[in-house]
Structure 1
Amino acid sequence: MEDTLSITSGISPLPGMPIPSSHAEDEQLALIGQPQPVRVPARLWRSWLSEPTIVARFEAKRYQRAGNLCTPWLAGVSSTGHGSFRAASLPGTSRRGTVPAHLFAYQLEYGVIPRLGWSGADDAVLCHQCDFAGCVNPHHMRLGTNAVNRTEYYLRRRNLASPLADIRGPAGRTRAVASAVRAGLANGDGRDSIELRIHLAESAGLPLTLW
């Protein structure tokens, strides 16, 4: 796994993105459903992503589906609908040890993103291309900017079949899908039955005009 993103990782920098750096003091600002973002030094990310026990705990909290479908997060959910993963319990009052699950998944696949931020329109952010906040499939995400992410959101939320149109909101949709998967696993269902549960959970949030 590479420490920083590069052309060889398959991700090309976008305009306004910071230049990759291996500086030990690089930090990321990660929103986990609270007003103040959590600062996570890049060195902490590297240690978490390279620790087998932490990665194993993470993998146990996501449901891998066949093909390239969305990967539902099955554990804690933030107010924004994104999964929350406690990578470590750090001292102090901050929640630096709890990070967005989709961000953990992306960096587990592609390496640590240097200087990820949320303060300006041109800061690098991680964008869901599937529009399902609870998805932790790294292949459904790409690096973009705050400005691009907001523009895409306003354009795609008008699609009544999009996850963004779910009447339960992003957190409600994530919890509903996770609950459906957990129920199927607890019942010993096969993959086809769990897929049906996921489909029903997703459909339950569609606007009435699509029924």
Structure 2
Amino acid sequence: MVAITGTALSLPLHRLPPATHRAPAEQLLLIGQPRPIRVPERRWRSWLDDSEVVARFTAKRYRRAEDQCWVWIGAVSSTGHGSFRAASLPGPTRRGTVPAHLFAYQLAHGVIPRLGWSSTQDAVISHQCDFAGCTNPTHMRLGTNATNRFEYLTRRRNLANPLADIRGAAGRTRAIAAAIRAGLANHESGADIERRILETQNAGVPLTLW
């Protein structure tokens, strides 16, 4: 047996990678403008933690039962998604405007560190109800560009699906939102507004030849 005394046993050390600094997380937002706008994570957190911003957001969505779509009744983008002006910022037009469904999802689940359209595997929020104007976070899930595109191409073949609406995504959202606003302006009951929504939804179903 060999005794080791008086000195420390020296072992080879693996080379450590050089220290790196994590780039600030940001998200890419696309609301009809030619190029996506980058929104830093810290800015998202400031909006979601601001009670006044959240109150303005809440006033623009029509909440219903938990299993139903919560329709955005504010401004609508060319893609049919709600547009929410979280803040007025200097720079490119609508820089402080974000997709309403993205705000709703993060309000419920927290900020998503990275979201964008630079890769087919980048995270995106997918509407499982296929209604772009919905802001019910339980109707959304995180997916990828690839899966989101596949689901869109598959589901739109169903003529009863919102994706098949003859008015397009934006036309459908605007029509349903207008029906809800009309009902609210007339102080109608929830049941009457539901009838308005159903009639407006049915108006977009494609005609079929039998």
SS in 1 for 2:72: coil
The residue that corresponds to 1:186 in the other structure is 185
**Number of the residue aligned with 2:52:** 53
Deviations 1:106-152 (A, max 9, x none): 00000000111111100000100000000011110000000000000
The offset of 1:99, in angstroms, is 0.3
Unaligned runs of 5+ in 1: 1-22
1:108 correspondence with 2:100: no
Q: CA deviation at 1:173?
A: 0.1
CA displacement at 1:34 relative to structure 2: 2.0
Aligned length: 189
Residue 176 of structure 2: aligned partner: 177
Tell me which residue corresponds to 2:90: 91
Q: After superposition, give the CA deviation of every residue in 1:67-107 in whole Å (9 maximum; x if it has no partner).
A: 32001000110000000000000112243210000000000
* 1:153-172 paired onto structure 2 within 5 Å: 153-172=152-171
Mapped to 2, the partners of 1:192 and 1:210 lie a distance apart of: 33
2: CA distance between counterparts of 1:34 and 1:149? 21
Map of 2:136 onto structure 1: 137
Q: Distance in 1 between matches of 2:48 and 2:140?
A: 18
Counterpart secondary structure, 1:155: helix
The answer to whether the Cα contact below 8 Å between 1:38 and 1:95 also exists between their aligned partners in 2 is no
- Tell me, yes or no, if the aligned pair for 1:30 and 1:38 is still in contact at 8 Å: yes
- Percent of paired sites with the same residue: 70
Larger radius of gyration: 2
Q: Which moved more, 1:87-96 or 1:123-132?
A: 87-96
For 1:123 and 1:46, the matched residues in 2 are separated by 21
TM-score normalized by structure 1? 0.87
Question: Pairwise CA RMSD of aligned residues?
Answer: 1.4
User: Which amino acid counterpart does residue 41 of structure 1 have in structure 2?
Assistant: P
Query: Do the aligned partners of 1:160 and 1:210 also contact (CA within 8 Å) in 2?
Result: no
1:196 is paired with a residue whose SS is helix
- Is 1:83–1:102's contact at 8 Å kept on the other side of the alignment? yes
Query: Which 4+ runs in 1 deviate beyond 3 A?
Result: none
Find the aligned partners of 2:26 and 2:92 in 1 and give their Cα distance.
Answer: 18
Q: What runs of 5+ residues in structure 2 fail to find an aligned partner? A: 1-21
